[in-house]
Amino acid sequence: MAEREGRRWNHNIHFHSVVLGAVPAHASSALDVGTGDGMLAVELRRTLTDVVAIDSSEAVLNAAAKQHGGIEWVLGDVMTHDFGRTFDVVAAVAVVHHFPDLRRGLRRLAAVTSPGGSLVVVGLARAASVRDHLYGVAGVVQHRWYSHRRTMWEHSAPTVWPPPHTYNEARAAAAGVLPGAQWRQYPLWRYVLTWRKPAR
């Protein structure tokens, strides 16, 4: 992931480049799920003409909408909102651990992804193995390094900690719901799940 000196940084922004790198060449539309302050939606809008950002927090969403134009801001729950269409890119950064049922949440995200489109999940999970804890140690070091060299920025979106599922549970859920999905665990207490929906 490329460094972005001089720009604000936090653990979620750190992974925006992963989402942007997964945008298909043919893409024109994107859905940013749990957009919060809207930073990812803004980055997506720089390359895509049609960006929808949804969040269930009215105060956070209104603040984002006041600062950024050219994006359709939707107050609602992605699990129940009727978009009336699908999207070439569906991104969920630090969102799926909020879902009461992870598998159901992943199915919903897959359902709003267009055929041939990409689903990218940057998720949080709970450490439950020696390997997980080693990644956590690396995350502490990485956090200190970046936070001393960047402008550390605290988002205003609601948080859930600790996450309700472990890394292994999240990986198993993805394998069961999204066949062929790519999975990678990272420091900074994150994993990345990318899935290309089969074209019709």
| pLDDT single digits (tens) 149-182 | 666 556 555 666 678 889 999 999 999 999 999 9
Averaged pLDDT for residues 64-93: 96
Averaged pLDDT for residues 92-106: 93
User: 95 pLDDT exceeds 70?
Assistant: yes
Q: How far apart are CA 195 and CA 115, in angstroms?
A: 11
Q: How far apart are CA 163 and CA 169, in angstroms?
A: 11
70-77: long-range contacts at Cβ-Cβ below 8 A with a sequence spacing of 24 or more? 70/45, 71/38, 71/41, 71/42, 71/45, 73/35, 73/38
Cα–Cα distance list, 161 to 55, 93, 126, 127 (Å)? 19, 15, 9, 12
25: enclosing H helix or E strand: none
pTM of the model: 0.85
pLDDT in tens, 100-140: 899 999 999 999 999 999 999 999 998 788 777 776 655 55
Please state the CATH superfamily assignment of the domain spanning residues 8-126+164-196 in this structure.
Vaccinia Virus protein VP39 (3.40.50.150)
Q: How far apart are CA 28 and CA 47, in angstroms?
A: 8
Averaged pLDDT for residues 179-200: 90
User: 79 pLDDT exceeds 60?
Assistant: yes
> What are the φ/ψ torsions at residue 5 (nearest 5 degrees)?
-60, 145
Q: How far apart are CA 103 and CA 99, in angstroms?
A: 9
